[in-house]
Amino acid sequence: MLKSQHSKFILLLLLLFTYLNSHADRDDDLSFIMTAAFTVHIDQDIIDATGLQTQELHNTQYSPEFETFATRIDLTPLINTRQKFFTALAKQTNAQINYKQSLYTVQRLESLQREKAISTRKLLAQKSQLEIDKAKLKAADQQVANIRLHTQAKWGKVLSLWFLDEPAPYTNMLKTLNRPVYLIYLPASYTPPITSVFVHPFSLREKAQAAQLISAAATYSTHQQATGSAFFYLSDQAEEAYHPRVTTWLPLNEGTQSGVIIPASAIVWHLGQAYVYLQIDDELFARVKITQKTGLGTDSYFIQQTLQEGVILVISGAQMLLSEEFRGQIPAEDDDDDD
């Protein structure tokens, strides 16, 4: 019985080598499969009954990412600042009107005084009022400038422009009220800052939404501990529910990598190690160890090495193949004494 099992195993290896040699012209990179130490033969009837599914792998480009988090910004203080700013603008306008009126009155009284039509005391009183109005205008100008400078220091020039200037940036202000604004700390290596990131409240990369750079937020106060520089980002889409903290993906400055993407369903685990099954022939499959993989959300992986374009990957039914592989080894282990 043991000799029969050995003969069967040798036959499977021969089939594997024959398959690889016959496809050498199609893709020389398939030769790495010859190093696979585990194969399993499954009858076509079992394959049909279990609904085993496969797919041919194709090369794709992948941009490595760095996962961090972003904090959603409460814009209420900025809205309140906007209200204070326009109140200050109204006082400034009123002070300008009063000052111009006082200046005109002084000029008119000076003309009348030269003609001896009014007393000097009346002219002096009006000049005093002019100085008072001038001081009020200066104070109003200073208040407007102080609010603008304080807002820029905390929120940056862009957000300050959107909320404090009229009328052109008004549409930008409305955008920020309808979409989330996030504060993200970028590592020092991100110079200049990246213009677009992806965010999702539940760490689902495949459903992440893009957010665009607004401006730097160097002095924005926050309780989070982080290194690097802070930047504001505006989401491309409105968020139905309020999430104070979201997962963020930043592209790494490493360029793109070439490899293949496989579904998570193709992975099987044995003794803490990840494997996939490749279809070598109609009824022959090889188990290949996956040593490096990069998760793409929750349902797929990027494989830069080990798997190559053109191989046939089992995407559904890999666990069944693993069970059949180990089940096929049991008779040989039981018959060791028969050799």
Quick one: pLDDT at residue 168?
A: 53
In degrees, rounded to 5, the angle at the alpha carbon of residue 169 between the alpha carbons of residues 163 and 175 is: 75
SS3 of residue 74 by DSSP:
coil
Which of 165, 145, 98 has its CA nearest to residue 126?
98
pLDDT of 103 higher than 70: yes
> In the chain, pLDDT over 90 holds for what percent of residues?
38
pLDDT (average), residues 3-23:
46
Residues 278-300: pLDDT tens digits? 999 888 999 999 988 888 767 88
Measure CA 48 to chain center: 41
Q: Does domain 2-62+257-338 have CATH number 3.40.50.10490?
A: no
Residue 204 has pLDDT above 70, yes or no: yes
Q: Are 244 and 72 in contact (CB under 8 A)?
A: yes
HSE-CB of 288 using CA atoms within 13 angstroms: 25
Spatial distance between the Cα atoms of 276 and 313, rounded to a whole number of angstroms: 7
Calculate the CA dihedral of residues 174, 176, 179, 184 and round it to 10 degrees.
Answer: 170
pLDDT in tens, 110-132: 888 888 888 888 889 999 999 99
CA distances from 246 to 10, 80, 221, 226 (A): 54, 25, 19, 15
pLDDT at 328 over 90: no
Q: What is the pLDDT of residue 3?
A: 44
CB 2 within 8 A of CB 10: no
Identify the CA nearest to 320 among candidates 54, 142, 122: 54
Contact in structure between 36 and 17 (CB atoms under 8 Å): no
- What are 222-258's pLDDT values in tens digits? 444 456 788 999 999 887 788 999 999 988 766 678 8
Distances (CA, A) of 37 to 6, 17, 63, 287: 14, 13, 32, 8
Please report the pLDDT score of residue 171 as a whole number. Answer: 67
pLDDT at 35: 47
**Cα 20 to Cα 95: distance, rounded to the nearest angstrom:** 89
Instruction: Answer yes or no: are the C-beta atoms of 15 and 285 closer than 8 Å.
Output: no
Distance CA 220, CA 291 (A): 43
Q: What is the largest CA-CA distance in the chain?
A: 140
Q: How much is the pLDDT for 170?
A: 61
- Tokens 């401006």 belong to 215
- Residue-level pLDDT at 325: 86
Residue 182 has pLDDT above 80, yes or no: yes
Query: DSSP label at 193?
Result: P
In the chain, the percentage of residues whose pLDDT exceeds 70 is: 80
What is the C-alpha to C-alpha distance for residues 211 and 241, in angstroms, rounded to an integer? 17
Q: Which residue has the higher pLDDT, 6 or 297?
A: 297
Q: Give the model's pLDDT for residue 223.
A: 45
Tracing tokens 């992948």 back to the chain, one arrives at 62
Cβ-contact 55, 226 below 8 angstroms = no
The band of 330, judged by pLDDT with boundaries at 50, 70 and 90, is low
Is the Cα dihedral 199, 205, 210, 213 positive or negative?
A: positive
Q: What is the mean pLDDT of residues 84-94?
A: 95
pLDDT attached to residue 225: 45
